[in-house]
Amino acid sequence: MNRLFEILYILLQKKSITAKELAERFEVSVRTIYRDIDALSLAGVPVYARKGRYGGICLLDNFILDKSLVSETEQRDILAALESMAEVEKGSTDAILAKLSSVFQMRQPRWLAMDFSDWSNQKQELYSNLKQAIIHHKRIRFQYYSRSCEVTERVVEPLQLWFKDYTWYLKAFCIKKKGLRVFKLNRMQQVIILEESFEEEYNQRVKFLIEEVEEKSEVEEQNLSNQKKESVALTIYIDQSQGYRVYDNFEAECVTKLEDGNFKVKVEYILDDWVYGMILSYGKYAKVVEPGYMKERIRSILLETIKEYE
């Protein structure tokens, strides 16, 4: 969306420009620019290609960007979408946001604020590199660490960055597995953008991705072993001093506040290292009441930990 508005704004100023010039400006392929022009044309913008020495991509001379082309609600939606993009890509959408705010004579309130400042510079660089690989359709190679600590080398065609449950993932077509996969960014190491491009079947893969056609992901692979296990009902008492964490870790309907101010949590989990780690992270402020065998397992973990410090 950002690039389409930028192209339109350039054409309003220059009236004519070559596809090559636009491709160089936006660091995309000429083919991508022509796809953008088709999108503008389908949207009703009178844009056309003129051949010859002074040819290029042109707008009809009498065309102006009339804010009445879109309703007031649509104007707000456009600005809101750009605001959300600006939160992820700091600075990259500021110019077009300012221009459209001026055209629409509307100042959109800042409805969304996101802060990824906990990311190290290395992670910011990874995010930027993956973004470029996705936009320019470049394959990437990296080392991937599975949950079982197995390390494999992957070559993939990156399609989309995905943020879910406080974690960043990469959706990509894996050459090795010959299918769509989801990779956790924290487990991707030594990421290299390759010179190999991918165009063929790209749109079809993205279509599958967006429509969420059944895909076998890395996340799903990590949980295959859990599919054969049954969830276990837990009852946990948590001290009132940990109230700020209780509602971060558990759904409200699973939590009961007791008369003494403490919390009783009743929840079902498939028992794994994460569950034990989460409970132990409360230290002395959490106590498992049921099931009994889980109490014994936690006691064993604590004793083993004490031995490490003797």
> Per-residue confidence of the chain (310 residues) as pLDDT tens digits?
567 877 877 787 677 888 888 888 888 888 888 888 888 887 777 887 777 766 788 877 666 555 445 566 766 666 666 655 555 555 555 566 565 655 555 555 555 555 555 555 667 788 888 988 988 889 999 999 877 668 899 999 998 888 876 678 898 888 888 888 889 888 888 999 999 888 756 656 665 565 554 444 445 554 544 455 678 899 999 999 998 888 888 888 899 999 999 999 999 988 888 889 999 999 999 999 998 899 899 999 999 999 988 8
What's the confidence (pLDDT) of residue 67?
45
Asked if 2-104 and 229-308 have one fold, the answer is no
Q: How would you class 195 by CB atoms within 10 Å of its CB: exposed for 0-12, middle for 13-18, buried for 19 or more?
A: exposed
- Return the CATH number of the domain spanning residue range 121-225: 2.30.30
- Written as six digits, the tokens of 33 are 């620019």
Backbone angles phi, psi at 241, to 5 degrees: -65, -15
Whether residue 141 contacts residue 147, with contact meaning beta carbons closer than 8 Å, is answered with no
Amino acid, res. 160: Q
Report the C-alpha gap between 282 and 246 in whole angstroms: 10
Residues in the chain, total? 310
In the chain, where are the structural domains located?
A: 2-104, 121-225, 229-308
Classify domain 2-104 at the CATH class level: mainly alpha
- Return the CATH number of the domain spanning residue range 229-308: 3.30.70.240
What's the confidence (pLDDT) of residue 154?
94
| CA-based nearest residue to 37, from 55, 58, 53 | 58
| CA-based nearest residue to 262, from 282, 234, 290 | 282
- What letters, b where the CB count within 10 A reaches 16 and e where it falls short, cover 146-171? ebeeeeeebbbbbbebeeeeeebbbb
| CA-based nearest residue to 8, from 85, 50, 64 | 64
Dihedral sign computed on CA atoms, order 270, 274, 277, 282: negative
Average model confidence (pLDDT) for the chain?
Answer: 77
